[in-house]
Amino acid sequence: MRWSQLLFSQGFGTRRVCAGLIDARAVRANGRVIDTDDDVPVVDGFAFEVDGRPWTYHARALVLLHKPAGYECSQKPRHHPGVLTLLPPPLRTRGVQSVGRLDEDTTGLLLLTDDGALIHRLTSPKHHVPKTYEVTCKHALQTKDVDRLLSGVVLDDDPAPVRAAAAELVTPTHLRLTLTEGKYHQVKRMLAAVGNRVEALHRSALGALTLDGLPQAGQWRFVGNAERAAALFSTAPARAA
């Protein structure tokens, strides 16, 4: 792969723009300026710089974002800014999209990728990838409410019971809830089914992935190959109250 092809594949612009970056001596790798469009051996994790900004080559990008409140996951947001505006232009150019969605008022862990097969793998109900939420409830929960969430509650538009994979009462109004399904507004509707209301919702984990290293909302990072495998092959925990 030539340098211009590498830059193009990473979203740094059209082929002409990428060739211009090389001509302008804006690309560096291994401590030297790249000023000719030579072949370059690349593997995932290959590091280089463009205009002084560090970048890592990924044939398929997988990004972990600490989503703030007030952002939509839609590629065509209507009422709030889109989460893609939180990412640098090269990632937006190459077409990453969110793996599932979080409501605009929900915060926490969101994955974005340009790998369609990975999106299917992580969102398909048959794979049961666990997602953990920190739920702030309006009213204090009781043990019987947690038991109902674990045994199954009926939502207003579906006669089949929906069960939590795990539920832990951290405080009377703080519930740690793990789900393996992805129904519309599922957490809010499950809490409504036990006579409560969600005041705030934060996703703290997806599979084995957490927000470690991203303490501030709006921060993002690439997910490495080992982490990607851990996310793919995670399974739901045993149910516990």
Q: Is residue 237 part of a domain?
A: no
Separation CA 26–CA 210 (nearest Å): 35
Q: Is residue 176 part of a domain?
A: yes
Instruction: Look up the CATH number of the domain holding residue 192.
Output: 3.30.70.1560
Q: What is the model's pLDDT at position 241?
A: 36
Reference 130, options 105, 107, 163; nearest CA is 163
Which structural domain range is residue 120 located in? 62-125+209-232
Question: Residue 232 pLDDT more than 70?
Answer: no
Q: Work out how many domains the chain is built from and give that number.
A: 3
For residues 169 and 146, is the Cβ–Cβ distance under 8 A?
Answer: yes
Instruction: Look up the CATH number of the domain holding residue 16.
Output: 3.10.290.10
14 & 45 share domain: yes
Question: Residue 235 pLDDT more than 80?
Answer: no
Average pLDDT over residues 73-91: 90
Write down the catalytic residue from 35, 103, 157, 212.
Answer: 103
115 carries an active-site annotation: no
Question: Residue 239 pLDDT more than 50?
Answer: no
Instruction: Look up the CATH number of the domain holding residue 221.
Output: 3.30.70.580
144 & 121 share domain: no
116-123 vs 225-232: helix crossing angle, rounded to 10: 40
Q: What is the model's pLDDT at position 71?
A: 96
Average pLDDT over residues 68-79: 88
Q: What is the model's pLDDT at position 55?
A: 95
Q: Is residue 240 part of a domain?
A: no
Render pLDDT for 190-227 as a digit per residue (tens, 0 to 9): 999 999 999 999 999 998 899 999 999 999 999 987 78
Separation CA 27–CA 40 (nearest Å): 13
Give the confidence band of 160 by pLDDT, cuts at 50, 70, 90.
confident
User: Measured between alpha carbons, how far is residue 119 from residues 37, 183, 187 in Å?
Assistant: 34, 16, 21
Percent of the chain with pLDDT over 70: 95
For residues 130 and 144, is the Cβ–Cβ distance under 8 A?
Answer: no
200 & 131 share domain: yes
Q: What is the model's pLDDT at position 238?
A: 43
Question: Residue 240 pLDDT more than 50?
Answer: no
13 & 48 share domain: yes
Percent of the chain with pLDDT over 90: 76
Question: Residue 168 pLDDT more than 60?
Answer: yes
Render pLDDT for 5-28 as a digit per residue (tens, 0 to 9): 999 999 999 999 999 999 999 999
Give the confidence band of 233 by pLDDT, cuts at 50, 70, 90.
low
Q: Is residue 241 part of a domain?
A: no
8 & 103 share domain: no
Average pLDDT over residues 167-181: 96
Render pLDDT for 100-156 as a digit per residue (tens, 0 to 9): 889 999 999 999 999 988 888 888 777 788 999 999 999 999 999 999 999 999 998
193 & 98 share domain: no
How crowded is the C-beta side of 127, counted as CA atoms within 13 Å?
16
Q: What is the model's pLDDT at position 105?
A: 95
Q: Is residue 16 part of a domain?
A: yes
Q: Is residue 239 part of a domain?
A: no
